[in-house]
């Protein structure tokens, strides 16, 4: 199996934007590793920027370059769709695709329950690797001494396609987010990477056996079932941008991303809207110095604008009907990708892109995971969990789910009828602990007693200590227990949407959540299904967006 390995101006955001060095703090150990060195050519980030590699003293590759791979991935999927129909017979396109295992962790998140129409959402994790595993990637990435070093997943974006295929949500996670990486096993050599003792930067997950460990890390953090991953390297980015003829981008002032010490991407544009392609497209996606406060979040905003513009262009640009152009595009796209076995042929990618193309630009919402600083790193906030919940529950981030809500008001009747109440075995667990409150004592026993009073004679309390559960849920492991689970939920007034299929339970299991810490009657909380403002949502149809240029990087 082959893997694709994919300072100058002070910023206003804080410690993480100070002059950069190779420094990673691992929460729980208090240890810090540091390695300094001169910055290589490029965006000025290659000497550091809070990264860690197993090899002490290694200079990290340019951070700016890593931020463009998600765009290449999304573009590749769309372009393979266009090119695939005419070139499926080329077997070498399939051979171009590199493959890897989907999930290397032990914990699996069950697929969501289908809606009333039998449809399920689709979640794809887009990964950008910073590996320098080829001469072309090395030339693009700079930092020659990092050739062949352990790759980092410095770009991570979750693409969520709704069950009804009406809307798409994209969630970006900052590369320096502190997370717990689960135990992962490398499929190539069987090496076991133990779970991290404390929290470490999320980009390190790729080095724990491959992209499947990055998938496992996302699932542990978010509780979102991930169906596929797509990973891309440096090499295909410039050529694909050339092949599609350029992407319109906008700046509100003249910009030159270069300071007196040579830091910056080198992007130089006049005020206004301009099509960028090739090296200039690469510079746009790398630029940190010169956009807004110079932080990674500003760079992510520029990437979102680029992607939205790309999607609109692909829908409107007739030049993609040129057979030679399509052939070149298909070659470049397939050569740049590493995919899981579920996407290991051009036909499968074509089918995926057909699904993605059903969504109109105005129903695409780009977001960044809400975060706060922890020293020079960031961590998810409460708003991040709100964003994850919306994705888990397939709620559109643009707030336009009215019609879908109406269609789902009619409760789905399980195919499996419920058994008699006194024959339904129910385990009741206490999940009432929160970040601020200790576990409410005796809740599992008291709710189990409520069920016994209502005729569920086989209801018992499970003393297991659980992580917090925001909402009370009823879980079941297999289709033959679905009817029983819905019957238990209905008897307590728990909404049908809180009944979930999960392989984490062996039978019907009621988890009493933080929303039911006391009392005998369950009152479902009024759901706030609004996308948090801190996610900085950008609509896919917004063609008026323009990047603000930092006055220190303008010219006349």
Report how far apart, in Å, the C-alpha atoms of 301 and of each of 171, 172, 294, 457 are.
12, 10, 11, 56
Which backbone phi and psi does 40 adopt, to 5 degrees? -85, 175
Tell me the average pLDDT of the chain: 79
Is pLDDT above 70 for 57? no
Q: CATH number of the domain that 478 lies in?
A: 3.30.70.2390
pLDDT for res 540: 87
Q: Give percent of the chain with pLDDT exceeding 90.
A: 43
* Same domain, yes or no: 449 and 499: yes
* Same domain, yes or no: 151 and 294: yes
* Same domain, yes or no: 339 and 434: no
**162-171, 324-333, 442-451: range with lowest mean pLDDT:** 324-333
* Same domain, yes or no: 426 and 294: no
- Rounded to the nearest 5 percent, the helix, strand and coil shares of the chain are 35, 20, 45
**171-185, 237-251, 338-352, 463-477: range with lowest mean pLDDT:** 237-251
| Contact between 185 and 192 (Cβ < 8 Å) | yes
Dihedral angle computed from the Cα positions of residues 238, 241, 243 and 245, in that order, rounded to the nearest 10 degrees: -140
Quote the number of domains for the chain.
Answer: 2
In a domain, 284, yes or no: yes
In a domain, 68, yes or no: yes
- Within 10 angstroms of residue 170's Cβ, the number of other Cβ atoms is 25
* Same domain, yes or no: 541 and 498: no
pLDDT for res 327: 73
* Same domain, yes or no: 375 and 441: no
Q: CATH number of the domain that 78 lies in?
A: 3.40.630.190
What single-letter DSSP state applies at residue 289?
T
pLDDT for res 194: 96
In a domain, 24, yes or no: no
Integer Cα distance of 121 and 217 in angstroms: 20
- For the chain, the first-to-last Cα distance in angstroms comes to 52
Report how far apart, in Å, the C-alpha atoms of 223 and of each of 70, 107, 236, 499 are.
22, 10, 32, 15
- Mutual orientation of helices 69-87 and 346-356 as an angle, nearest 10°? 110
* Same domain, yes or no: 135 and 181: yes
Query: Which pLDDT tens digit goes with each residue over 195-232?
Result: 999 999 999 999 999 999 999 999 999 989 999 999 87
pLDDT for res 304: 82
* Same domain, yes or no: 149 and 257: yes
What single-letter DSSP state applies at residue 371?
E
- Give the closest residue to 35 by CA, choosing from 148, 149, 132, 139: 149
Query: Which pLDDT tens digit goes with each residue over 59-116?
Result: 344 444 444 444 555 555 554 544 444 444 458 888 889 999 999 998 888 888 788 7
In a domain, 368, yes or no: yes
- Domain span including residue 431: 421-516
Integer Cα distance of 16 and 10 in angstroms: 10
* Same domain, yes or no: 379 and 452: no
* Same domain, yes or no: 108 and 209: yes
pLDDT for res 409: 44
pTM greater than 0.85 (yes/no): no
Query: Which pLDDT tens digit goes with each residue over 503-540?
Result: 889 999 999 999 999 999 999 877 788 999 999 898 98
Query: Which pLDDT tens digit goes with each residue over 311-342?
Result: 777 666 544 556 676 677 777 778 878 999 99
């Amino acid at each position: 199996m082959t893997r694709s390995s994919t300072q100058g101006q002070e910023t206003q955001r804080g410690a993480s934007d100070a002059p950069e060095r190779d420094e990673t703090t691992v929460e729980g150990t208090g240890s810090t590793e540091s390695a300094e060195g001169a910055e290589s050519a490029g965006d000025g980030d290659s000497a550091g920027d809070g990264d860690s590699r197993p090899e002490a003293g290694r200079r990290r590759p340019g951070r700016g370059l890593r931020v463009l791979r998600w765009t290449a991935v999304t573009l590749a999927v769309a372009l393979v769709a266009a090119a695939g129909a005419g070139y499926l017979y080329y077997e070498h396109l399939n051979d171009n695709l590199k493959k890897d295992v989907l999930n290397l962790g032990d914990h699996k998140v069950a697929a969501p329950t289908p809606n009333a129409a039998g449809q399920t959402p689709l979640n794809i994790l887009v990964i950008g690797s910073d590996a320098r595993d080829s001469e072309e990637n090395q030339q693009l990435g700079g930092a020659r001494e990092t050739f062949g070093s352990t790759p980092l997943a410095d770009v991570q974006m979750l693409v969520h396609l709704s069950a009804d295929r009406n809307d798409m949500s994209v969630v970006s996670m900052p590369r320096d987010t502190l997370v717990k990486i689960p135990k992962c096993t490398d499929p190539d050599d069987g090496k076991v990477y133990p779970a991290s003792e404390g929290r470490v930067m999320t980009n390190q997950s790729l080095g724990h056996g491959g992209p499947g460990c990055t998938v496992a890390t996302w699932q542990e953090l978010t509780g979102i079932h991930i169906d596929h991953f797509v990973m891309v390297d440096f090499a295909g980015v410039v050529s694909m941008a050339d092949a599609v003829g350029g992407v319109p981008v906008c700046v509100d002032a003249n910009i030159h991303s270069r300071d007196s010490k040579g830091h910056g991407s080198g992007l130089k544009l006049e005020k206004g809207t301009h099509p960028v392609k090739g090296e200039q497209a690469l510079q746009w996606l790398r630029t940190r110095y010169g956009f807004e406060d110079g932080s990674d979040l500003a760079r992510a905003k520029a990437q979102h604008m680029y992607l939205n513009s790309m999607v609109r262009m692909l829908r409107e640009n007739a030049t993609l009907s040129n057979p030679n152009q399509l052939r070149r595009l298909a070659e470049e796209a397939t050569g740049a990708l590493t995919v899981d076995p579920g996407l290991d042929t051009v036909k499968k990618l074509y089918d995926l892109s057909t699904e993605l193309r059903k969504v109109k630009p105005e129903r695409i919402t780009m977001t960044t995971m809400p975060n706060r600083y922890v020293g020079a790193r960031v961590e998810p906030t409460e708003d991040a969990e709100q964003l994850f919940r919306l994705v888990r529950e397939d709620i559109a981030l643009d707030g336009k789910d009215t019609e879908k809500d109406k269609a789902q008001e009619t409760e789905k009747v399980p195919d499996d009828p419920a058994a008699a109440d006194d024959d339904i075995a129910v385990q009741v667990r206490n999940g009432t602990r929160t970040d601020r409150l200790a576990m409410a004592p005796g809740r599992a026993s008291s709710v189990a007693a409520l069920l016994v009073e209502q005729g569920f004679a086989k209801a018992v309390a499970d003393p297991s200590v659980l992580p917090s559960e925001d909402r009370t849920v009823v879980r079941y492991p297999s289709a033959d227990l679905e009817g029983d689970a819905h019957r238990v939920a209905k008897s307590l007034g728990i909404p049908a949407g809180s009944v979930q299929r999960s392989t984490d339970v062996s039978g019907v299991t009621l988890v009493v959540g933080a929303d039911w810490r006391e009392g005998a009657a369950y009152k479902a909380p009024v759901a706030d299904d609004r996308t948090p403002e801190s996610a900085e949502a950008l609509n896919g149809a917004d063609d008026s967006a323009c990047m603000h240029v930092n006055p220190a990087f303008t010219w006349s």
